[in-house]
Chain A
Amino acid sequence: MRIMAKRKFDGITIFLFLLPALILFVGILVAPLLASGYYSFFEWKGFGDSKFIGLDNYKTLFKTFTYKNNEVPFLWSARNALILALCSVFIQLPLSLGLALLLGKGIKSERFFLSINFLPVLISTVVIGELWRKIYYPDGGLLNSLLRKFGVLKKGAQDITWLAEKRMDGSNSTLLQCVIVPMLWQYVGYHMLLMYAGVKSVPPELREAAKIDGATDWQVDRYIVIPSMKQIIKVSVIFAVTGSLKSYDIVSVLATDKTRIAAFPSTLLKDQMGAWGRYGMGSAIAVCLIVLCFFFAVVIGEIFKDREKV
């Protein structure tokens, strides 16, 4: 092929180069996405006859907060997922940012701390879930023993039944907090490393110059480093929020009985599909999840865009 001939076959070349990616993308993402939308209008067990029921699945989803008999508490699960997302953005990410900024300054053993903080990301979420289950275990679990050791739980006091939907004495559920803590903990390191990359990409001369002008460390971070990391922070926020919405692994390990399994959208979806064989309903949940993910991705994108202009 000479330069002249380049143009002639470019159409075919482009197509051939895109082909593998397109097959994967259309076959596994686009087509199933459309199919989910289609199924969501049916009452269907995955085989045999299906019945068109219009928006009934969606109506069921938005009807109730509780998990009784045949109810599908999507609102409840979405609420929990949003709480998780909020915690993730306002607790996990600031912690990651703080660690990244501190480590980015080049303190002693920077690499050592970086490695340790990233470690939980690489441990299987199932292992982490099982581990925390032992930590939370109501009778002789690590957490209750720790609380006893430090005197938070008094001698005669009853153990706290962590992870229970209702505590023994009937007070509020601890499930949500119990599930949120390990999920936040595991991915602090992930976001930390992303942000650390941003911190490190600030040219050292810029820091030096600001320091010479009399800026404190905090001011350098606030006015130079953080603004330059905006792109990375945006990505982190999007990952944190969409990740929270679709979180499945740790919840599915920690929340094992029927009521608890409905606590997050993904576990609810899996439960509807696996245990109930309601494929239409499951698809409706999937569609809601997709809509939520896109909605937040766009909103977050806009938030970060506006700040750029101001």
Chain B
Amino acid sequence: MGKKAYSGNDLSQYEVGKSSKVAKVFIWIFMIIWAVINLYPLYFLFTFALKDNDQIQVTNQFGLPKPAHWDNYKVALKSGPIVRYFLNSVFVTVLTIVITLIAALMATYAITRIEWKMSKTIEKIFMLGITIPVQASLIPVFIILSRLEMLDSFQALIIPYAAFALAMAILICTGFMTEIPISLDEAAYIDGCGRAGVFFRIILPLMKPAMATASIYTFLQCWNELIFAQTFNSKDDYMTLPAGIRQMVGTHTTEWGPVGAALALATFPMLIVYILLSRKIQDSFIAGAVKG
């Protein structure tokens, strides 16, 4: 890093004022425009969720809803088990994260803390998982699940999600785990700890930041997942939010207000969590980028 940086003797060629006032203003304007582009669709969503068709399409496309049709939410809640979908999504995501973390932490421990010949090879093989698209498994896993009569269940989603989140989680955990000094392990062995002891008592407590980071990447991967969710599940009881919303909205296309309300309901919880935890989420995400 930076080795090449000073080789260019053209550094002093353009003596433009260092970040002049004008430039700063332009940066600000650009940032604000981009922020508006990011926020406007949300504004659009939350306002049209409270309008009727006439307001949405003709009389009041851009303004705030007047009058506000709060009953859109009632209609939306009645037209499908949104709350159920949401809870299903939470359940599937949480269990996926737990399984992914357990498998990834254990594998990373074996790869980075124990010396053996094939460790690098195994790590590389796991890393192939980052490139493999989920579509590769769609048909075979569907067939296995239907043979085992395991379609329409939570495990039909959780296990594949965990498998596909694994590579990224191992990558992240490796980044964090190699930074823990090996002398800690050695001290523990001298004190009479075994491999498992070191793993549970030394490594795991130090891997909390890694767990946060891996959780966020896993979350991003499976919270929005649609193709498995649509293929492996057809029952409301197990349907996750994306598939459920997709199905609900697909059947109610004429009245936009309730559709908007349904979409808004699907978005609210995430939004609240993000507003509360945005800093933590971003920091963990950033840690993953640096360590990975």
Contacts and interface: CB of A to CB of B under 8 A. Distances in A.
- Are these two chains actual partners, yes or no? yes
Interface of A: 1-3, 6, 9-10, 13-14, 17-22, 24-25, 27-29, 31-33, 35-36, 39, 46, 99, 102-103, 105, 107-108, 111, 113-128, 130-132, 134-135, 137, 139-142, 145, 185, 189-190, 193-198, 200-202, 206, 210-211, 213-219, 223-224, 227-228, 232, 235, 238, 242, 245-246, 248-249, 252-253, 265-266, 269-270, 273-274, 279, 282-283, 285-287, 289-290, 293-294, 297
Contacts of B109: 17
B170 interface: yes
Given A119-B38, A124-B242, A127-B45, A17 B137 contact: no
23 contacts: A13-B114, A17-B199, A20-B103, A22-B107, A24-B166, A29-B129, A29-B137, A29-B163, A32-B141, A33-B137, A36-B140, A107-B24, A122-B274, A123-B267, A123-B270, A126-B242, A134-B48, A211-B18, A249-B227, A252-B230, A273-B138, A273-B139, A274-B231
Contact of A119 (B57, B107, B190, B274): B274
B135 A126 contact: no
Contact of A140 (B41, B58, B141): B58
B103 A21 contact: yes
B131 A214 contact: no
A236 to B, nearest CB: 9
A189 B274 CA distance: 14
B174 to A, nearest CB: 12
A271 B236 CA distance: 22
A213 B267 contact: no
B214 interface: no
Contact of A290 (B24, B136, B259, B290): B136
A196 B286 CA distance: 8
Interface string B39-60: 1011011001000000011100
B80 interface: no
Residue of B24, B103, B126 with highest tally of chain A CB at under 10 A: B103
A140 B136 contact: no
Given A142-B44, A210-B11, A227-B1, A185 B37 contact: yes
B interface, over-half SS: helix
Contacts of B97: none
Interface stretch (B66-74, B176-184, B204-212, B218-226): B218-226
B139 A213 contact: no
A24 B103 contact: yes
Nearest to A248: B227
Contacts of B83: none
Nearest to B246: A126
Contacts of A286: 133, 135-136, 138-139
A24 B5 contact: no
B282 A114 contact: yes
Contacts of A189: 38
A19 to B, nearest CB: 8
Interface in B58-104: 58, 61-62, 99, 102-104
Given A131-B41, A142-B61, A215-B11, A269 B141 contact: no
Nearest to B137: A32
Nearest to A27: B163
Nearest to A127: B263
Nearest to A14: B110
B284 to A, nearest CB: 11
Contacts of B102: 20
A246 B133 contact: yes
In the complex, the 10 A-B pairs of residues with the closest C-beta atoms, listed nearest first: A140-B57, A28-B163, A32-B140, A21-B107, A197-B289, A17-B110, A1-B194, A35-B140, A32-B137, A20-B103
Given A28-B141, A273-B138, A197 B170 contact: no
A253 B104 contact: no
Interface in B252-288: 256, 259-260, 263, 266-267, 270-271, 274, 278-279, 281-282, 285-287
